[in-house]
Structure 1
Amino acid sequence: MSTRRSFLTGAAVATGTAALGSAHIYAQEPKKITWRLQTYAGPALGEHVIKPSIDAFNQAANGAMEIKLYYADQLVPTGELFRAMQRGTIDAVQSDDDSIAAPVDISVFGGYFPFATRHSLDVPALFHQYGLNEIWAEAYGEVKGVTWLGSGAWDPCNFATVEPIRSLDDLKGKRIFTFPTAGKFLTRFGVIPVTLPWEDVEVALQTRELDGIAWSGITEDYTVGWANVTKYFLTNNISGAWIGSYFANSDKWNEVPEHLKTLFKLCMDSSHYYRQHWYWGGEAKLRVEGSKLELTSIPAEQWQTVENEAQKFWDEIAKTSPRCARVVEIFKQYNALMAKAGAPYR
């Protein structure tokens, strides 16, 4: 009886200890982190510019974190994305600074700042070797609630139009869907910038609410269906590459453990890399083999007028803040060096 009583007492103590141990282990298990991330891109474009990297992140996070991806305007209109992220309505954003109305002086350089870049590799070179990383981090460090995570290069900015553009005069009066800063610059040549929800652009081209777009290169025109409702592609571009960034709500970013932050940044880099070769190869291939858009060009001597006007535009923007002046000076130094380097740089 004594032996049986000792066994039952010991078993009860062991069971209680095990239960407490299990409860302790359960309490220590980290809660799964779930984010909502909205991109500037519609679904067809998003399949290339972000979805593969988010799928890879979710798989590699192994259940510790999941990012739910939303496309252009699905949760919030693109122009309201920054404020929504700041409030915590959404957790992260992929876009240029310009389109989401980021409340920083350097947002004017996001998207397509005219002729600041000529090739896609210019963007990472400028950010990683010429100091733009530090300037962007400085600017967003002054904004409460949002953390800028990094930038990469995306496609050039060409016109795709319903009617052919073969001279500067042909731009006059054209209603064009484009980015805020690019639109402001193009008004100097008679362009009428039009703002629409991304998903409405194709119909607006069909109904002639729009005469064209200056929102991408030819790869996106084919990918998203705009090549089906336009007829001409202007080979002259106003920018060789877009500056696209990733942002996160600061509180949500701070809750992410360091190893998952590292994983997310690696997936950002994989997305930047994919776009480098997807656009570079696609732009050339579709110019040569694409059957939907006829190529047109504005003569070089006329186009030089546009490039000269861009330099005036740069100087005007430089006067808006000391930080903008620093960015413009970097653009000038970088492009002067590239010109001296010659082919294949310029």
Structure 2
Amino acid sequence: MTTRRKFLTTTTVGAAAATLAAPAIAQSTIRWRMQTYAGAALAEHVITPAIDMFNKIAGDRMQIELFYADQLVPTGELFRAMQQGTIDAVQSDDDSMASPTEVTVFGGYFPFASRYSLDVPVLFNQYGLNEIWDEAYSAVGVKHISAGAWDPCHFATVEPIRSLADLQGKRVFTFPTAGRFLTQFGVVPVTLPWEDIEVAVQTGELDGIAWSGITEDYTVGWSNVTNYFLTNNISGAWAGSFFANMDRWNELPDDLQTLFRVCTDQSHYYRQWWYWGGEAHLRVHGEDLELTTIPDEEWAQVEAAAQVFWEEIAAESPTKARVVEIIRQYNADMEAAGRPYRYT
């Protein structure tokens, strides 16, 4: 039997109705604006592939427009812009985007909290940091989607660093918490827009960079303006996350939330091997930077200072004390586990 619905869809009237409906479907595409902490050259590795993948799979249902460091707002204003809905999503560490949460100090490079890149996802997924981050960000209207591990934190400098004394007076681009820690060794932290760093080194405004490992130094061009790479690091892995405005996140259907998580997880995975392989390959085969090292017995002073720093941070609030205790327990477990988890 021919029903009224079937009749309308198989006649000129039905065809006309479908044609008129088509623009409305296209207009219903969910559109997000997302900004990363990374400049264009670095973003090609740390986020662009993930967003391209999401857009390709989501198709007409949702599209994310990606902006690089400081394109819409300065990196230090990313959190507020996302919280207010000016930006729908952000990729950054807590520290750089000036998050007003108790966990902010642990984003980016918390001194000596991790030794290897796998430490970060284990801390979040198995030792309880995910729950603490979710609690902290839910309280301020932001969704913490996932955290991942990136590169270690090393110095790339114009002049060689071969002792702690060589750090005195060095003007260095670094993360807020890392800078706070390093000031006791004479480092002068400098805050500048990401895209200005290369020129600032060339003009002498900066003496060096403590913002990444050697992979990024080569990828973004910093190896072209510095001469030395210090093999000692103050952290084995950067901790960065994907975030979204809570209302925008809650508006997404479950399958698009899942797709976004899958794409960000793929991004985390890519960085695991890209950085790990790059750090080794460029130390051995890179031609731009000469490697220098502070002797272990002297560097031990920096490691000891980190333990004092942890205590200072833990004393600031109960939430910070919880995180420090987790980091402390995790590192104790790794030491007890021995090789290959820790080399003692």
TM-score bucket of the superposed structures, by smaller chain: over 0.9
Across the aligned residues of Structure 1 and Structure 2, the Cα RMSD in angstroms comes to: 1.9
Q: Deviations over 1:280-301 (max 9, x none)?
A: 0000000000000000000001
Match of residue 328 from structure 1: 324
* Correspondence 1:159 to 2:155: yes
Match of residue 274 from structure 1: 270
SS of the residue 1:63 aligns to: helix
Quote the offset at 1:105 in angstroms: 0.8
Matching of residues 152-191 of structure 1 within 5 Å: 152-191=148-187
* Correspondence 1:240 to 2:247: no
Quote the offset at 1:341 in angstroms: 1.3
Match of residue 4 from structure 2: none
Quote the offset at 1:342 in angstroms: 1.4
Quote the offset at 1:54 in angstroms: 0.6
Q: 2:81 aligns with which of 79, 84, 101?
A: 84
Does the C-alpha gap of structure 1 residues 20 and 324 become closer, same or farther in structure 2, counting only changes over 3 Å?
same
- Which sits farther off after the overlay, 55-64 or 222-231? 55-64
Aligned residue pair count: 334
Q: How far apart in 2 are the matches of 1:244 and 1:174?
A: 26
Match of residue 316 from structure 1: 312
* Correspondence 1:258 to 2:254: yes
* Correspondence 1:69 to 2:66: yes
* Correspondence 1:338 to 2:329: no
Quote the offset at 1:81 in angstroms: 0.4
Q: How far apart in 1 are the matches of 2:138 and 2:66?
A: 26
* Correspondence 1:101 to 2:75: no
Matching of residues 265-304 of structure 1 within 5 Å: 265-304=261-300
Q: Deviations over 1:102-141 (max 9, x none)?
A: 1101100000000000000000110111000111011112
SS of the residue 1:105 aligns to: coil
For 1:236, the aligned partner's letter is N
Q: Deviations over 1:180-230 (max 9, x none)?
A: 000000001000000000000000000110000000000000000000000
Which has more radius of gyration?
1
Does the C-alpha gap of structure 1 residues 26 and 44 become closer, same or farther in structure 2, counting only changes over 3 Å?
closer
Q: How far apart in 1 are the matches of 2:271 and 2:82?
A: 25
Q: How far apart in 2 are the matches of 1:29 and 1:292?
A: 53
Q: How far apart in 2 are the matches of 1:58 and 1:17?
A: 34
Q: Deviations over 1:292-341 (max 9, x none)?
A: 00000000011000000000000000011101101000111110111111
Q: How far apart in 1 are the matches of 2:118 and 2:56?
A: 29
* Correspondence 1:204 to 2:231: no
Q: How far apart in 2 are the matches of 1:255 and 1:323?
A: 29
* Correspondence 1:48 to 2:69: no
Does the C-alpha gap of structure 1 residues 299 and 56 become closer, same or farther in structure 2, counting only changes over 3 Å?
same
Taking only the aligned residue pairs, the percentage that are identical comes to 69
Q: Deviations over 1:220-258 (max 9, x none)?
A: 000000000000000000000011001111121122111
SS of the residue 1:278 aligns to: helix
Q: How far apart in 1 are the matches of 2:330 and 2:73?
A: 36
Q: How far apart in 2 are the matches of 1:16 and 1:175?
A: 73
Quote the offset at 1:17 in angstroms: 7.6
Q: How far apart in 1 are the matches of 2:109 and 2:335?
A: 20
Instruction: List runs of 5+ in structure 2 lacking aligned partners.
Output: 1-6
SS of the residue 2:60 aligns to: coil
Q: How far apart in 2 are the matches of 1:308 and 1:317?
A: 15
Quote the offset at 1:18 in angstroms: 3.7
Q: How far apart in 2 are the matches of 1:91 and 1:216?
A: 26
Instruction: List runs of 5+ in structure 1 lacking aligned partners.
Output: 1-10
Match of residue 3 from structure 1: none
For 1:317, the aligned partner's letter is I
Does the C-alpha gap of structure 1 residues 18 and 41 become closer, same or farther in structure 2, counting only changes over 3 Å?
same
For 1:159, the aligned partner's letter is F
Q: How far apart in 2 are the matches of 1:335 and 1:250?
A: 33
Match of residue 114 from structure 2: 117
Quote the offset at 1:15 in angstroms: 6.4
* Correspondence 1:128 to 2:103: no
